[in-house]
Structure 1
Amino acid sequence: MIIYGLKNCDTCRKTVKALPEAQLVDVRAEGVPDDVMQRAFAQFGAALLNTRSTTWRGLDADERDADPLVLIAQHPALMKRPLIDDAGTLYLGWTKQVQDALAV
């Protein structure tokens, strides 16, 4: 199991603590593989963008209109976190539903 997130993100820390067997991949340092991002975007669409982040608020209107995958590649903190890859099944966020699905 792989958790894509930020090592300084509180939600990602909670996820790693709850899933000790999982590996955290810091998206700022290592990024997310293109194939994983493509699958995540196909599954979650615009929900993959964290529009509540300070990074998002710092973008101008033209930048916000760019392709979400390009925005995330340029600004990894814009990705909603965590993105969890459990043997090919993707989960976004650390909601009660995700926790139930992963039997935490």
Structure 2
Amino acid sequence: MLEHLIGQVGLATLLNTRSTTWHSLDPSEQQAAKDSVDSARSLMLANPTLLKRPLLDTGDRVVVGFKRDEYAELPH
């Protein structure tokens, strides 16, 4: 599922660099996650709070973060 999410929205959108978990990482781990999808994937699997939330996969579209306008456009 993580591969699908990265493929749909990209690593920069998915990786929560504002979280407490991110700030508790060693700077070398942070840089590795920014430079390498493999490193970022490993960190996100070990620390799920590194995924931005809310995270919604409708099957047709992936929405990361809450944006009222985007949620309003989704089919009901």
TM-score (normalizing by structure 2): 0.75
Residue 72 in structure 1 maps to residue 72 in structure 2:
no
SS of aligned partner of 2:57: strand
Higher relative contact order (CA 8 A, sep 6+): 1
C-alpha RMSD of matched pairs (Å): 1.8
- Alignment correspondent of 1:18: none
> Paired residue for 1:3?
none
Structure 2 residue aligned with 1:5:
none
Listed as ranges, the gaps of 5+ residues in structure 2 are 34-38
**Which structure has more helix as a fraction of its residues?**
2
Aligned pairs for 1:1-104 within 5 A: 36-45=1-10, 46-64=12-30, 65-66=32-33, 67-102=39-74
Which structure 1 residue ranges, 4+ long, deviate > 4 Å from structure 2?
A: none
Deviation string 1:62-100 (CA, Å, 9 cap, x unpaired) is 211132211100100110011111134211111123212
The alignment-based identity, stated in percent, is 38
- Which blocks of at least 5 consecutive residues in structure 1 are unaligned? 1-35
> Under a length normalisation based on structure 1, what TM-score does the superposition of the two structures give?
0.57
Contact 2:14 2:52 in 1 (8 A): yes
| SS state at 2:16 partner | coil
- Count residues in correspondence: 69
